Chains A and B, each alone.
Chain A
Amino acid sequence: MKLTALSCQEHLEEDPVLSCHLLEICQTRVLLECPLDLSVLAIFLPSFQSKRKSHTDVMSASLSFLKENSGQVLIEGEPWYKTAELGLVEVALLDAVVVSNPLGLLGLPFLTKNPDFSAKIYMTEATAKIGQLMMEELVNMHAEFIQVHGRSRDGQLPSWLNVSTLDTLPAILRDSIVGRSLAGRSNWHLLYNKADIRDCMAMVHRLHYGEEANIDGCLKIKPSSSGLGIGASNWTISGARRSVAYIAGSLVTANSVKAFDFPALEGSQILLFGDVEFADESSTISPVGAPTLSSERGGNRGSGEVSGALRPDTTASDVRPQVAAVCKAAVETVRRGGSVLIPSSPFPILLELLDEMAVQLASVNLTDIPMKYISPAAEEMLAYGNTVPEWLCPSRQEKLYAGEPLFGYVDLVREEHLCGFKALHSADLQTVWQEPCIIFASHWSLRMGPAVHLLHRWRHNPLCLLILIEQSLDVELILAPFKPLAIQVLELPVQSRLSPKEVISVIQKVQPQLTLVPEFLLHKKLEATESNHLLSYRTGCTVRVPHFENQLEVQMSAELALQVQPKPVKPSKVAAALLHADLWSRDGIWSLQPASMAKCSGDLLPGLQSFQYRWGQVNVTALLTALKDRGLFDIHIQETASEEVGNEHFTTGDLKLEVETAVVEIRSPSQAWIEIRPNSSHIKADDPSLRHLIAAAVHSVLNSL
């Protein structure tokens, strides 16, 4: 088994990268996830600001595509999208792609576009649905750039990706484009289109939690809930000799979706952590406002108890603390008469946010504050959220049994307090627009989509609030094109990975024989666990996982079992039998069936049948009797006490030993000799039938199966 990390965090201080691995197991190549690194979209200028004079050109005319704003250098032009190191994957040899959540799906069309691609793709039904929505959302919003810049010609690299230009770029920019080596250039792609998405999704095998799928009869894979979001999964991947539990983006804390399924992972030999949080536990909820920005911290603290007291069911609810904090901040703002903008994506926590927001608004009697979700995926996502009881936590499933909507926001939609809109310029939206309001809008990168325009509208209004919920954004860079800002900015990243502490608890619960973790985790965080069971990996390197001694198993059909008649073997206390059978392999299970070949084409395979395992020594007296039984009477014995063997070429040179040899000579019907040595006998006879007769006699006085 081999694991190649195509993308993972290298160091604690580095920006997180979505995980992507190539797993070679039981002769099958499986790609785990195919994500896009959308955080690097930040190096591009937002679509609507392009071709405006507000930014200063930097440097020479040859780098005219670079614009400077608030000390940050950005690229003006149609953005490209960055995948993991897919260059290390031989696409034609890939057997399967496993996608754990919608984020791991976003880069897949780049792979499926390749004509050599023939692998099977597996994901849960919900991941496929939401992932497709997100890909279409991306393509829709990207269209803004095409409107401004025109469509790039196929096969032409943008100027910022040229090798010659790269050297002249500012170092920070160059690093985000290519990383440390120029090889990173091949990870950039021009965005796919809707037809690519359709073709890609047509190849997808959609699974339910706990549904087993088979890859070419060699591997069984099974998704189980990871707790991250609707349909998000971890996987057990098992072949005849290996079993791996693969932990993708997961949450062990309770929330609205099905909880992390530990029992499903138990019994796996190897535990593979794909996506792990690098931050310390303590920093998960702390809002880190940049020094130049006004922080919401103070205002929050005061209102915390109020809304907490108004919601006595807080402890029993499935709301994550970060979600509650986001909503609290938003409610405070609208109370003051400001509007709230939450750039967000459909996965993983949008529905929870909507739900909690409704609860908190209701608790302070602000139900008349309109909430809007503006995204190309809005309407479908809102409708879809109410049809997924199978993927939710028990308390929400109870709502199904009670015949209630699964999420509280559904009622808001019916009462028209919450509306979904495809785009900012929808005619319907214009007519119902009213401020203050709470807007959830895409895209969280703040480079395209309605969120960009809304931020532009409200950026000078100190009453308004922008809440950034994505993890580890470079806030300075992201907000640069919008400066100067008066709007308040609150950073409340919502956890979407396991923390190192949680990793340890997962290891303790699953009890694998070996654990694979990203390298940084090994050095810094996991000193507490027994490190002899840990292996670490890093981007671009392949880790070989040693074999375990394990008992292989085969199933024998009853029909065959009845044919086998084991005989006791003298020196040891066992019974043994020679077995001829057909070996079948199906779904990673080996089975033995009665031999069909030997029966129908017996003469063709005489070697197979005549091979009989023998042991023991030939007793000359017994041999004489056996020969006589077969009608051979003219027998003479020449006892040779010792003789130098080795002149026969088949007893190889190193066997020139003094051995006891007896020679039995047979004179009729024709001449033959039997040379008997302790561990072998040699029959010399020219007549084939006599030869076989003697062989049978010798065989009969030996032990055999």
Chain B
Amino acid sequence: MMIKCVPLGAGQDVGKSCVIVTVGGKNVMFDCGMHMGFQDERRYPDFSFISKTGNYTQAIDCVIVTHFHLDHIGALPYFTEICGYEGPIYMTYPTKALAPLMLEDYRKVMVDRKGEQEQFSVLQIHQCMKRVTAIDLRQTIKVDADLEIRAYYAGHVLGAAMFYVKAGDDTVVYTGDYNMTPDRHLGAAQIDRLEPDLLITESTYATTVRDSKRARERDFLKAVHTCVAAGGKVLIPVFALGRAQELCILLDEYWERTNLKVPIYFSAGLTMQANVYYKLLISWTNQKVKDTYVTRNTFDFKHVTPFERSQIDAPGPCVLFATPGMLSGGLSLEVFKHWAPSDANMIILPGFCVAGTVGSKLMSGKPTKIDIDKRTQLDVRCQVQHLSFSAHTDAKGILDLVKHVAPRNVVLVHGEKLKMVLLKNKIATDLGIPCYDPANLETVEVESRCLVKMGISKQLLKAPVNQSIIQQATAVLPSAAEMAKEMNPVALPDAQRQLQTVHQGQQLPHVRAGVPVEGVLIMEDSSRIKLIHPSEVESVLGVASHGMSFSCMCPMYLAYLELLSVRTEEATTALEPMTSSAILHLIYLHLVESFGEGILEEKEESIQGKSIHIRVSPETSSHNLAVAKGYHLQGTDIDGGGIPALVLACDWHLEDDALANRAISILQMLKLKLS
């Protein structure tokens, strides 16, 4: 079956992440974000793509939100409360707890400060969140009978998760945003080798390979310290949750260590409130924070105090964390307008800035004038620092993740177009995995594994173990061992050990890897497909099997036997006195020499093994021996019209044809050796 993947947002772009995946007949929406760079209808994903009639509940089987950033969840209240989606929504506990804060903050900024028309109300945010099912990490949730989802730790922000979706036999992993290195309050992303049919990964830093985190932190602290020491003010625009906590921990610890008294402010309310949540959600942080929360909760900051709007123009140095990030509006933009004109001050942009925001304008080059909006232009004299503190993985991390998860196909989203192409090529060539970077509303189709499920008989499942012992013991092992000996003398004991373990586990159906089996596949009219052991065919199909067997005569001349007796130490008595059973024994020894022990055995005047029987033909009389000896002494027994000392009668069943032919050819080979 085909798996379809359409980004409604974040296709060759960052912002309004929203990817629709059709997998195993189910439609799953990953993330439902908004674009921070747009103020018009382009800020939301184009939901009309999903359903022309607007019946989204029917069209989408479930919505999965990876984390609480607005570009991943911003459009959710709009989608549920205004577009009317009523189906299931899943997110992790922290995301469910923190998302309303983010949404409410955004709503306030838009409505109160920008005077825009309200997109959704407080009530609608709460109604929306009520529909959400919170899930725990690694917990397998059954959305319905054929649809399973599971969250993995993604590290990006508190509660960020990657999602594994299994519909029928088809599997998809959607990473959301993730970070492959642990930071001060979060761990690194963790996921299993899931080998999904499709991996959809973010690619924010598709080409960047970042230096060590320690160096970045040192730069950050140095810049802040230098600025405040000179009496300047430092503005750090952040989102209330995520980097804000990380940088607060960093600064708080530094202030403690260096005994600095310069105030650190946090733009009121939200972040203080956020810290309460962080304390409840300790189990989602990293090990170090978890280990110390009893004695000292990392989120109780000593040096951080709330900020009042009246303090904007207060004299003296300070550090201010102001929301929102990217200087997209609100307090951070307001403070920026006040502080930017002074060259003593500093703006630190700690993360990625979406195109269209003031933050991204600051980052491109070194502008001295910035257009805040159509009417306002601002002189920028302050220092502008950009420090990559985004908790996104870098290019190496993305490649590591792809390698680790081992998908059959990769789709890149959430990145910049040109950089994504480079990464796409790298994945395709270096890892050999087909990779796509669809633009918004562009469909990617990949093929899934299409496993066929069928019944299997117990007899067949038990067979491979027994069968493999026999096969390895007969043909495979000696030759394989010979090969191994030539190539690598150490490998031999390994092969033998393997054989032994198979022996020990004879009754165990724990077949681990690639054991050859032979079965018969039966398809009845409408019922299931079943695989049975060949020996069961008779009863299942109701037919009588037709056996095939062979026999042949194999003359043994005295010359052969002499050859054998010379080579076989114990037969130094040569051929005197000679009985047919003594000759048979000689032949047996010869065969064992090339077959190894355990396959053929001497029994009742014959050599037997599986269905093979080698006997002295009744036509051979003891008289033959004497006559043959006469010819032999003349040297004419083989080509001079002489008679063989005895004739071996061999017979066997078709199943053992190969083995029998090999035995006979060994005997006939003697002739060649003579000449």
For B550, give its contact among A27, A649, A691, A703 (CB under 8 Å). A691
A568-609: which residues lie under 8 A (CB-CB) from chain B?
Answer: 569, 571-585, 590-593, 595-598, 601, 604-608
Scoring B residues 643 to 675 as 1 if CB is less than 8 Å from chain A, else 0, what string do you get?
000000001011111110100110000000000
- Which among A114-122, A452-460, A679-687 touches the partner chain? A679-687
Taking CB as reference atom, which chain A residue is nearest B555? A686
B546:A679 contact, CB within 8 angstroms: yes
User: What residues of chain B lie closer than 8 Å to A543, measured between beta carbons?
Assistant: none
B661:A584 contact, CB within 8 angstroms: no
Give the top 6 A-B pairs by smallest Cβ distance, nearest first: A210-B139, A606-B658, A680-B547, A558-B450, A211-B138, A615-B543
Known contacts A584-B512, A590-B456, A605-B516, then 6 further A-B pairs from the complex at CB < 8 Å, ordered by chain A residue: A401-B129, A574-B523, A583-B515, A607-B474, A607-B656, A608-B471
| Residue A61, interface by CB 8 Å | no
Task: Enumerate chain B interface residues (CB-CB to A < 8 A).
Answer: 93, 96-97, 100, 129, 134, 136-141, 169, 273, 276-277, 279-283, 293-294, 449-458, 461, 464, 471, 474-476, 479-480, 508-525, 531, 534, 537-538, 541-554, 611, 613, 651, 653-659, 661, 664-665
For B458, give its contact among A552, A616, A650 (CB under 8 Å). A552
B498 to chain A, nearest CB (A): 14
Known: A388-B283, A553-B453, A611-B655. A209 touches B139 (CB 8 A): yes
A614:B93 contact, CB within 8 angstroms: no
A106-152: which residues lie under 8 A (CB-CB) from chain B?
Answer: 125
Taking CB as reference atom, which chain A residue is nearest B554? A686
For B541, give its contact among A211, A571, A584, A648 (CB under 8 Å). A571
For B534, give its contact among A403, A564, A611, A702 (CB under 8 Å). A611
| Residue A476, interface by CB 8 Å | no
A578:B520 contact, CB within 8 angstroms: yes
User: What residues of chain A lie closer than 8 Å to B97, measured between beta carbons?
Assistant: 389, 400-401, 403
User: What residues of chain A lie closer than 8 Å to B513, measured between beta carbons?
Assistant: 584-585
User: What residues of chain A lie closer than 8 Å to B455, measured between beta carbons?
Assistant: 551-554
User: What residues of chain B lie closer than 8 Å to A379, measured between beta carbons?
Assistant: 294
User: What residues of chain A lie closer than 8 Å to B655, measured between beta carbons?
Assistant: 607, 611
For A607, give its contact among B294, B544, B549, B657 (CB under 8 Å). B657
* Most chain A CB atoms below 10 A, which of B452, B461, B545: B452
Taking CB as reference atom, which chain A residue is nearest B297? A383
User: What residues of chain B lie closer than 8 Å to A606, measured between beta carbons?
Assistant: 475, 657-658
A27 to B512, CA, bound (A): 14
For A679, give its contact among B100, B514, B531, B545 (CB under 8 Å). B545
Known: A210-B141, A211-B138. A582 touches B452 (CB 8 A): no
A residues contacting the other copy or chain, number (CB 8 A): 95
A551 to B527, CA, bound (A): 13
A255 to chain B, nearest CB (A): 19
Taking CB as reference atom, which chain B residue is nearest A691? B550
B261 to chain A, nearest CB (A): 28
User: What residues of chain B lie closer than 8 Å to A406, measured between beta carbons?
Assistant: 280
User: What residues of chain A lie closer than 8 Å to B138, measured between beta carbons?
Assistant: 207-208, 210-212
A169-219: which residues lie under 8 A (CB-CB) from chain B?
Answer: 207-212, 217-218
| Residue A513, interface by CB 8 Å | no
B654:A691 contact, CB within 8 angstroms: no
A578 to B283, CA, bound (A): 54
User: What residues of chain A lie closer than 8 Å to B653, measured between beta carbons?
Assistant: 650
Known: A580-B518, A683-B548. A605 touches B475 (CB 8 A): yes
For A558, give its contact among B452, B464, B656 (CB under 8 Å). B452
Q: List 25 A-B contacts (CB under 8 A).
A: A27-B509, A125-B283, A217-B512, A389-B280, A400-B93, A401-B97, A403-B97, A403-B280, A406-B280, A553-B453, A553-B455, A554-B455, A554-B456, A561-B450, A585-B513, A604-B480, A605-B476, A607-B471, A615-B541, A615-B543, A617-B546, A680-B546, A681-B548, A688-B665, A695-B548
Taking CB as reference atom, which chain B residue is nearest A595? B516
Taking CB as reference atom, which chain B residue is nearest A591? B451
B280:A400 contact, CB within 8 angstroms: yes
A605:B471 contact, CB within 8 angstroms: yes
Scoring A residues 519 to 545 as 1 if CB is less than 8 Å from chain B, else 0, what string do you get?
000000000000000000000000000
Known: A401-B97, A615-B543, A650-B549. A585 touches B141 (CB 8 A): no
Known: A405-B280, A571-B541. A556 touches B454 (CB 8 A): yes
For A604, give its contact among B134, B476, B511 (CB under 8 Å). B476
A571:B516 contact, CB within 8 angstroms: no
Q: By DSSP majority rule, is chain B's interface helix, strand, loop, or mixed?
A: mixed
| Residue A566, interface by CB 8 Å | yes
| Residue A21, interface by CB 8 Å | no
User: What residues of chain A lie closer than 8 Å to B542, measured between beta carbons?
Assistant: 571-572
A633 to B656, CA, bound (A): 29
User: What residues of chain B lie closer than 8 Å to A208, measured between beta carbons?
Assistant: 136-139
| Residue A613, interface by CB 8 Å | yes
For B664, give its contact among A581, A591, A688 (CB under 8 Å). A688
User: What residues of chain B lie closer than 8 Å to A605, measured between beta carbons?
Assistant: 471, 475-476, 516
A191 to B538, CA, bound (A): 64
User: What residues of chain B lie closer than 8 Å to A618, measured between beta carbons?
Assistant: 546
Known: A614-B548, A679-B546. A608 touches B516 (CB 8 A): yes
B452:A561 contact, CB within 8 angstroms: yes
Known: A208-B138, A557-B449, A558-B452. A681 touches B543 (CB 8 A): no
| Residue A705, interface by CB 8 Å | yes
B10 to chain A, nearest CB (A): 27
User: What residues of chain B lie closer than 8 Å to A679, measured between beta carbons?
Assistant: 544-547
A686 to B551, CA, bound (A): 8
A702 to B547, CA, bound (A): 11
User: What residues of chain A lie closer than 8 Å to B281, measured between beta carbons?
Assistant: 387, 389, 400
A235 to chain B, nearest CB (A): 14
User: What residues of chain A lie closer than 8 Å to B524, measured between beta carbons?
Assistant: 573-574
B600 to chain A, nearest CB (A): 15
A585 to B515, CA, bound (A): 9
A663 to chain B, nearest CB (A): 13
User: What residues of chain B lie closer than 8 Å to A613, measured between beta carbons?
Assistant: 520, 534, 537, 545
A18 to B93, CA, bound (A): 34
| Residue A380, interface by CB 8 Å | yes
A552 to B93, CA, bound (A): 38
| Residue A699, interface by CB 8 Å | yes
B283:A387 contact, CB within 8 angstroms: yes
A650:B525 contact, CB within 8 angstroms: no
| Residue A82, interface by CB 8 Å | no
* Most chain A CB atoms below 10 A, which of B100, B140, B280, B449: B280
User: What residues of chain B lie closer than 8 Å to A553, measured between beta carbons?
Assistant: 453-456
User: What residues of chain A lie closer than 8 Å to B451, measured between beta carbons?
Assistant: 555-558, 591
User: What residues of chain A lie closer than 8 Å to B457, measured between beta carbons?
Assistant: 552
User: What residues of chain B lie closer than 8 Å to A383, measured between beta carbons?
Assistant: 293-294
A103 to B554, CA, bound (A): 76
User: What residues of chain A lie closer than 8 Å to B464, measured between beta carbons?
Assistant: 583
Taking CB as reference atom, which chain A residue is nearest B276? A403
Known: A210-B136, A702-B546. A582 touches B518 (CB 8 A): no
User: What residues of chain B lie closer than 8 Å to A691, measured between beta carbons?
Assistant: 550, 552
A573 to B540, CA, bound (A): 11
A147 to B508, CA, bound (A): 53
| Residue A511, interface by CB 8 Å | no
| Residue A411, interface by CB 8 Å | no
User: What residues of chain A lie closer than 8 Å to B139, measured between beta carbons?
Assistant: 208-211
| Residue A698, interface by CB 8 Å | yes
B93:A389 contact, CB within 8 angstroms: yes
B452:A578 contact, CB within 8 angstroms: no
B283:A386 contact, CB within 8 angstroms: no
A615:B548 contact, CB within 8 angstroms: no
A604:B520 contact, CB within 8 angstroms: no
A227 to chain B, nearest CB (A): 16
For B549, give its contact among A388, A405, A683, A699 (CB under 8 Å). A683
A650 to B613, CA, bound (A): 9
A572 to B541, CA, bound (A): 6
A493 to B514, CA, bound (A): 56
User: What residues of chain A lie closer than 8 Å to B294, measured between beta carbons?
Assistant: 379-380, 383-384
